[in-house]
Amino acid sequence: MENDKTTICGLKKENFQKEIKGKQTNLYFLHNVNGMEVAITNYGGSLVAIMVPDKNGNFANIIQGHDNIDDCISSPEPFLSTLVGRYGNRICHGKFTLNGKEYNLAINNGPNHLHGGPTGFHARVWDAEQISDCALVLRYISAYYEEGFPGELSMTVMYTLTDENELVIDYKGTTNKKTIVNMTSHGFFSLAGIANPTPTCENVICEINADFYIPIDENCIPTGEIRSVKGTPFDFTTPHTVGERIDADDEQIKNGAGYDHCYVLNKKEPGELTFAAKITEPISGRIMEVYTTEPGLQFYSDNWADGYKGQHGATFGRRSGLCFEAQHFPDSPNRAYFPPVVLKSGDVYTQKTIYKFGIQE
C-alpha cells in the first residue's frame, strides 16, 4: 500500500531509495487518527521519525535519525534507532558453546561481540510490506553462519502505530537449526524533540520497573551477579531525573560511563507483557511508557555521542538520547542461570514491545 499523505516530518522517500546488493531501500510512513506519524526505512529497520505533540499540540520528532539513506549507512552511531540482531548487547569475547561446539562471532566492541556484529541486522536491507496506513511488516532471512551464528534464521518484525499512540513492535523468528536469538530495537529517544543541538536528557524524569540490575565489568560484560538497585544510583523504582546520579562516584556508573546496564524487569511469570519504564520530559510535557514481554531492559544514556549531525541539521551530543532496549540479558549464552536465548528448529521466537506516547496530566 503506497502512502501518499503529506508528511509532517519533512522526510522524502526519494532520499531513502538506493539499491544495495540487488535489494531496494525505501522509506515508509505510519499514521494514526491523532495526527501522529512514524517514518521507518527498511535499511536496518531504522526508526527515522516519530512525530509526537507536546502539551501545546506542537509536533516534533522525538527519535534520533538521519534524513537520507547514505547518512544512515555511514552513521557515526551504526545502531542509531535500528533493529538489532541476531544478538542484542554483548557476548564475552564473541564466543559461546551450543551442542558442545564452540562458535566464534565477529568482535566489534573492544574484545567483545556487540549487537549482532558490524554487518548485523542493523546493516541489512529487509523486505518490506506496508499492509495498512498504520502497519509495516519487515522480513529478513539471516544465512547460516552469518556473522558466525549457527542456523538459518527467518525473522519477521511488524511495526504498528495504534490510535492509542502506541508504537507496537512484534517480532517472530524461526530457525532450521538450533541457534541463539536476542532481538531488540535500539531507539534513541529525545522527548524534547531533536534540534541543533538536541537538548541533554539529564532533566528527563525516569522510572524503571526493576528491583534488580546486572552489574558489568570494565568491558561492559556482566560480572554474573544480579544486584539489588536499592541504595544505588540505579534505583528508578521511584521517579528520578536521569542526571541526578549519572556521574555518581560509583564503580558501576564508571564502568558504563553513565547508564549502560540491563535491568531485570519485575515479572510474575516469564513472557508476560508488563510495564517496564516511563520517562517524562518536563518542559514539553511529553511522556513515553515502555511495555515488553522481555525479561530485561537495557537502559543506555547515550554516553558516547559527540555532537554528530542528524536529520535536518540536528546534532546529537553526549546524553542527548535515552535508549530502552527490551531484550534478554547480555552474555546469556555463557550464563546458564540467565533466561535462555536458544531457539530450536520447530520453535518460534516471539517478542512484543510497546512504546506508548502521551502528555503529562
Catalytic residue ranges: 186, 325
Under 8 Å CB-to-CB from 138, ≥6 apart: which residues?
42, 45, 83, 126, 127, 128, 156, 157, 158, 159
Say if CB 83 and CB 139 are below 8 A apart: no
Say if CB 182 and CB 86 are below 8 A apart: yes
Nearest to 296 by CA among 221, 250, 351, 252: 351
Alpha-carbon distance 73 to 82, whole Å?
11
Say if CB 104 and CB 119 are below 8 A apart: no
Name the DSSP class of 100: T
Alpha-carbon distance 23 to 14, whole Å?
15
Alpha-carbon distance 37 to 40, whole Å?
10
Alpha-carbon distance 107 to 219, whole Å?
13
The count of residues in the chain is 361
